[in-house]
Structure 1
Amino acid sequence: MRLYGSLTSPYVRKARILIREKNLPCEFVVADAWAADSPIPALNPLGKVPVLVLDNNEVLFDSPVIVEYLDSLQAPALLAAAGGERWDVLRWEALADGVLDAVVTRLLESRRPAAQQSADNLRRQEEKIARSLEYIARRLGNGPWLVADRFTPADLVVAVALEYTDFRYPHDWRGRHPRLGQWLAGVSARPSFIETRPPGMEKK
């Protein structure tokens, strides 16, 4: 298998973490989706990363599909096949992806020329992020995991979203949610997180 993506994309990082968690044989190909000679549009018509090319040359995208496929390759699966636990995990995944989308949207807006930036859009994205962190903090238990008694894709994607928030939208959310900061410190100490940390990401 070959995984295509950038070193800084949090969506790509989700797949890279799972590959390391499961010790799956997979080549990582660094590719810029925006480059003129990028291989990404030929693999994914949406022109987005990550892209996973299977051994039979079939192609999978986007990150939720890739993460679930990779999880299925080696037992035990981190995502339950059915039942309430599965839906709990998928809800956390949807929330975490929404946080990532808001952080990315805010980042792109902030990189526009100052005169063209939309203060309303910046505020809207920041409100989404704040509400989401409040939601996570309220539902965080006393244990190390979000669902059940083990590491699941819920922990993976929420931790990636929080670390990416630190990377691209640094602000003192830990002051408001100290227990959430402690939880993140535990998950992000896993080797799979340390080994996939993007260049330039400061550990908080």
Structure 2
Amino acid sequence: MKLIGTTSSPYVRKVRIVMAEKKLDYQFEIDNVWAADAAASPASPLGKVPRLQIEGHESPLFDSRVIVEYLDTLSPVGKLLPPSGRERADVKTWEALADGLLDAGVLARLEATWPGRSEGERSQAWIDRQMGKVDASLQAMAKALGDKPFCCGIHMSLADIATGCALGWLEFRFPELSWRDDHPNLARLADKLAQRPSFKDTLPA
């Protein structure tokens, strides 16, 4: 398998961590979709990463949620998703919340930094709206986590990987945010996950 992405993308990091936890072998190919000469292609119609190219299949898988769900079926090692029912839905809801936080954060950062906009074209109101979603997501995460050791109980799951990637990206791109002070239970979870080799080996850069 070949994973196509960047080392700074939290969505790509989520897939890389799942690969590591599942002990799956793959090649990692860098593709900066924000480069000036980058363009959509048949292999990447949305112009996004990650993409997973599977030997024997012409079309890659894309969207991190699709990819990690597929990867969890490839090996019984370290199952990250419950097979069905409410437990599975709870894990996927955590993943959706973490990815939604990232979506909002990415939109805010692009509005503030994308070179395709001039200073006069940037909207602080839009940035504030997106950062409001980030704050609301952090509050929802902290409330749902409570005093549990992991997002969905006593074992690590995809919920924790997605959440850890979201929190790590916030530290990487928005170091000025005080989420650690505001939500110490999320900080404890992030610190615990950061000790795992899969997280250590995939730090954003």
Higher relative contact order (CA 8 A, sep 6+): 2
**What's the counterpart of residue 194 of structure 1?**
200
Calculate the aligned-residue CA RMSD, in Å.
1.7
Counterparts of 2:201 and 2:100, CA distance in 1:
24
Query: Residue type matched to 1:20 in 2?
Result: A
**Aligned pairs for 1:128-139 within 5 A:** 128-139=133-144
Counterparts of 1:160 and 1:99, CA distance in 2:
11
Partner SS state of residue 146, structure 1: coil
Aligned match for 1:91, one of 90, 93, 101: 93
Query: Residue type matched to 2:121 in 1?
Result: Q
**What's the counterpart of residue 202 of structure 1?**
none
Query: Residue type matched to 1:190 in 2?
Result: R
1:136-173 Cα distance to aligned partner (Å, 9 max, x none): 11111323211132110000001100111111122111
Partner SS state of residue 29, structure 2: strand
Unaligned runs of 5+ in 2: none
Counterparts of 2:164 and 2:39, CA distance in 1:
29
Counterparts of 2:72 and 2:25, CA distance in 1:
13
Q: Normalising by the residue count of structure 2, what TM-score does the alignment of the two structures yield?
A: 0.91
Amino-acid identity (%): 44
2:10–2:166 contact (8 Å) kept in structure 1: yes
Q: Normalising by the residue count of structure 1, what TM-score does the alignment of the two structures yield?
A: 0.91
Aligned match for 2:84, one of 82, 85, 107: 82
Counterparts of 2:186 and 2:129, CA distance in 1:
23
1:115-146 Cα distance to aligned partner (Å, 9 max, x none): 22111101101110111101111111323211
Unaligned runs of 5+ in 1: 200-204
